[in-house]
Amino acid sequence: MSQPFPPIAWDALLENDARQLIRLALGEDLADAGDLTTQAIVSADRRGAADVVAREAGIAAGVRIAGLVLAEAAADATWTPAVQDGTELQPGVVVGRLEGASADLLSCERTILNLMNRLCGVATLTRQYVEAIAGTKAAVCDTRKTTPGWRRLEKFAVGCGGGSNHRIGLYDAILIKDNHLAVAGEAGLTLSEAVRRARARYPQRVVEIEVDTLAQLEAILPVSPDAVSDALPDIVLLDNMSIEQLQQAVELRGRLAPGVQLEASGGVRLDTILAIATTGVERISVGALTHAARSLDLGLDWRGQD
């Protein structure tokens, strides 16, 4: 089980999310009156072209977004991407070209840029984390700390940056966290019993459990690597452990359950992730990929009118 969660693809579900966000964004800009400035000064019969251009270095993500914006706006215009998702961008690189009714291009400009800038920003920050641990066996993973409504899109952008996706939501995998254990523990439920119940109820799902001490980790591992247990998780999340604790956890797992993956989590930063990766954990979850990414600067350069 090298990567237990499938990567987020640009599929019908993701496109539906994008279209819903686009409709909201267009409504914010145009409401019932439309683009007043453009209506006042731009002739309806004017046609032209404009390029979406990178103003700074980064990673492309969501290059299809512009075409969806035009479609949702019923714009008399087309979008031709010049790069693919995951492409490294340098200042001045053309991401794609818009052509059509000048008024429609002007009215859609900000919505296109807001969406693309955000996704490129997530991909760019992810790439920085991935490059920081190059040469180790650890994967950089996202979390559910995403912008509401943007989850699939932001997780897609993580993939564009070379990161790995975690579960999408509460519905597609099991992650037994400290608050689950706090509530269930009131009835005397142990960590092993919690895993056993989850495994029995959803045998086809990935089962992960969070621990914050080495004693908790040892309690859910078998007494020997040959022991068979129906309470063995697929992944153990090591929450806010020190480098020394992570090293001890990897050694303990290696002796008792080498098939179980270990995931480090909690306050991971660019300046700390390499030390974490060299402990031997397989996965490092980084909430900052989505909750702390800043938008990449893309702009619209007008290329002339017919």
Catalytically annotated residues = 110, 145, 177, 210, 239
Tell me if 122 sits within 8 A of 145, measured CB to CB. Answer: no
Return the SS3 of 37. Answer: helix
Q: Is 285 annotated as a binding residue?
A: no
Kindly give the pairing relationship between strand 235-239 and strand 261-265: parallel
Q: Is 143 annotated as a binding residue?
A: yes
Closest CA to 181 of 220, 137, 138: 220
Closest CA to 118 of 18, 235, 41, 231: 18
Q: What distance in Å separates the CA atoms of residue 132 and residue 76, rounded to the nearest whole number?
A: 44
Tell me if 206 sits within 8 A of 173, measured CB to CB. Answer: yes
Q: Is 107 annotated as a binding residue?
A: no
Tell me if 275 sits within 8 A of 243, measured CB to CB. Answer: yes
The tokens describing 211, both together, are: 């621990």
Q: Is 155 annotated as a binding residue?
A: no
- Residue by residue, DSSP assigns 267-280 as S--TTTHHHHHTTT
Q: What distance in Å separates the CA atoms of residue 86 and residue 63, rounded to the nearest whole number?
A: 10
Q: Is 267 annotated as a binding residue?
A: yes
Q: Is 167 annotated as a binding residue?
A: yes
Q: Helices (H) and strands (E) in the chain — how many of each?
A: 11, 12
Q: Is 159 annotated as a binding residue?
A: no
Q: Is 239 annotated as a binding residue?
A: yes
Q: Is 301 annotated as a binding residue?
A: no
Q: Is 286 annotated as a binding residue?
A: yes
Q: Is 177 annotated as a binding residue?
A: yes
The Cα angle at residue 210 between residues 205 and 213, in degrees rounded to 5: 150
Q: Is 266 annotated as a binding residue?
A: yes
Q: Is 265 annotated as a binding residue?
A: yes
For the annotated binding site, the residues are 110, 143-145, 167, 177, 210, 239, 265-267, 286-288
For the annotated binding site for substrate, the residues are 110, 143-145, 167, 177, 210, 239, 265-267, 286-288
